[in-house]
A and B are shown apart, each in its own frame.
Chain A
Amino acid sequence: MVSKQQQKEFITLVSTKLTSKELVWVSTKTAIVSDIETSHKFKVFFSLVARFISSDNPSWDKNETETMEAIYPGFSKSIWSKQDLVRACLMIALDPGINKPLLLSFFEIAEMKEQVALYKGLYLLENASSFRNQVAEGIRTNMVNVFDAIASGNPYPKTYLDEDAWNQLILKSFFMDRKLYLIQYVDQGKNENLANMLQDYVKERWAAGRQVSLEIWRMINGYLREDIKALFSKRTFEGKENEVVTKLLQQNNEPIPAEFWDGMASTN
């Protein structure tokens, strides 16, 4: 859970990336939304960020990155625009006693970039765990940038989702051709149910004469079934795929290190 102190550090660091004019705008608006009486203005302010804050992506030095990673593990795996950062500050400013109904109703009318910022920002809230159903719903989106906001460099899913929802996230990542290695805590999310669903998926794809992402084996490693091994022996593999399959068989369900998978996926 993100503490009040960490929220403050986040806001302080974000402030250093804003122009003085932007900073005045943000301070004024966060003050208004933090007052329960006027918190309903959150929706319009959240939208108006597009008009008052530049869409640039700030750069972070080593220290800053470390600070952000400590608050929000995975922060550096995805791009945060200044608009995303300011929107997160507005979310933090809401009183946790009333933020749930307000944010849930805003999700219903949020445009594409707003949805991205909302899903990225939820982890930073004190009551982040109250938004499990919303994030599970978000996984059902077909807007790729919205899906990525949940899947890439976001600690929320592994921290708060139950196994079924997490497994849907991983399955859908493959259906949408997303990069698995960008999912935060991906290796901690391995489980037998998931590995079985993925192996069934591999069989289905191969039967249809189609390929699978090599990253799929990262989640299967440890749970490799005999029927899949039998299929291996009937197929010929080349290049990277051959490398991965050979490694899987050698390791015989002993874990293959994350570095192997990360290196393979990031150069793919």
Chain B
Amino acid sequence: MNYIDPHIHMVSRTTDDYENMRAAGVVAVIEPAFWFGQARTNVGSFKDYFSTLVGWERFRASQFGIKHYCTIGLNSKEANNEALAEQVIEILPEFLAKEGVVAVGEIGYDDQTDAEDKYFRQQLELAKDFDLPVMIHTPHRDKKNGTLRTMDVIEEHGIDPNSVVIDHNNEETVKWVRDRGYWAAFTIYPKTKMSKMRMVDIAKQYGSEKIIVDSSADWGVSDPLSVPKTAALMREHGIPEKDIHLTCYQNALTVYGQSGQFNESDWINETIIDQADLLGGNSVLRGQEAKKISFKGTQKED
């Protein structure tokens, strides 16, 4: 079965992760622009980071048979450095126009400061200008109010909830998010936030409509195989295949596909990636034997 991980920070992951993900059925990933683990101090760092997302990381993923897409945005933590944020906002349009950029994101609130609010709103306007979906990061602290406020602001800017994914949901927020017409994503972490078993229970209770599973794997303790592992646990607990397909593949494709930049045809046609032919000993291979990867996703099962 094919899976999509629609939220994963691959710049922090190893080539072993790429190999394991592909072996587990992950055919495409979306890498949202986010915080680095420490604050950047100048706009050049953002420029190079965004360039990496559309350049080297995209190439690196391709060498393991995985299609790499990204979202571009100024994250809420770093929105608090206003002098820098102003400059970052200036360069965003140049990246939002690029191929394979499937949304503005991840944006939203962290501490819910005035500065966060200001740049969140500016970026919602950019999403309208570029006709792109929005990926929302909801705060870990004061989650309930932060999530409700996020939705109020999105609606105030006249954005259709059907083009917005609200991420990092829990059992409580999912109700409001879906009732108001948004896509509800769940980040499955090995320890904190949402566990695989809690996700199975949510799928049992809510079904699959507008529900999306992701790993948000990054530089912290996290699991790049969260999506296929959660799917396996769902299967074990009798969740219908149709619902697994929707939550672990199709829903992400539907919502981010609205960008026109995220198409199943990108990965269902057979591609042979010959690492030797492409790379020699000079790039992602360091002296190990080059592999021929036969890479073909399967058509929709239902």
Contact = CB atoms under 8 A, between A and B. Distances in A.
Interface of A: 43-44, 47-48, 50-51, 108-115, 142-145, 172, 175-177
Closest 7 CB pairs of A and B: A50-B99, A111-B54, A47-B97, A177-B280, A142-B283, A44-B97, A143-B59
Interface string B41-55: 000000100110011
B55 A144 contact: no
Interface string B251-278: 0000000001100000000000000111
Contacts of B181: none
Nearest to A148: B278
Of B56, B93, B97, the most chain A CB neighbours within 10 A belong to: B97
A113 B276 CA distance: 21
Nearest to B44: A108
A183 to B, nearest CB: 16
Given A111-B58, A115-B55, A144 B279 contact: yes
Interface of B: 47, 50-51, 54-56, 58-59, 91, 93-95, 97-100, 260-261, 276-283
Nearest to B95: A109
Majority secondary structure, A binding face: helix
Contact of A177 (B50, B97, B279): B279
Majority secondary structure, B binding face: helix
A107 to B, nearest CB: 10
Given A44-B93, A111-B99, A143 B282 contact: no
A112 B67 CA distance: 13
Contacts of A111: 51, 54-55, 58, 98-100
Given A108-B51, A112-B59, A43 B278 contact: no
A135 to B, nearest CB: 17
A186 B288 CA distance: 30
A50 to B, nearest CB: 4
B99 A47 contact: yes
Of A47, A113, A115, the most chain B CB neighbours within 10 A belong to: A47
Nearest to A49: B99
Contacts of B261: 50-51
B137 to A, nearest CB: 23
Contact of B99 (A44, A113, A175): A113
A109 B47 contact: yes
A143 B56 contact: yes
A49 to B, nearest CB: 8
18 contacts: A43-B94, A44-B97, A47-B97, A109-B94, A109-B95, A111-B99, A112-B54, A112-B59, A115-B55, A142-B59, A142-B283, A143-B59, A144-B59, A172-B282, A175-B280, A175-B281, A177-B279, A177-B280
Contacts of B277: 177
A47 B98 contact: yes
A142 B93 contact: no
Nearest to B100: A111
B260 A44 contact: no
Given A50-B261, A111-B54, A144-B279, 10 more contacts: A44-B93, A44-B97, A47-B94, A50-B99, A51-B260, A111-B100, A112-B59, A114-B99, A143-B55, A175-B280
A49 B243 CA distance: 37
Given A44-B94, A50-B98, A143-B56, A176 B280 contact: yes
Contact of B279 (A48, A172, A176): A176
Contacts of B51: 108-111
A51 B55 CA distance: 18
A43 B95 CA distance: 9
Contacts of A176: 279-280, 282-283
Nearest to A142: B283
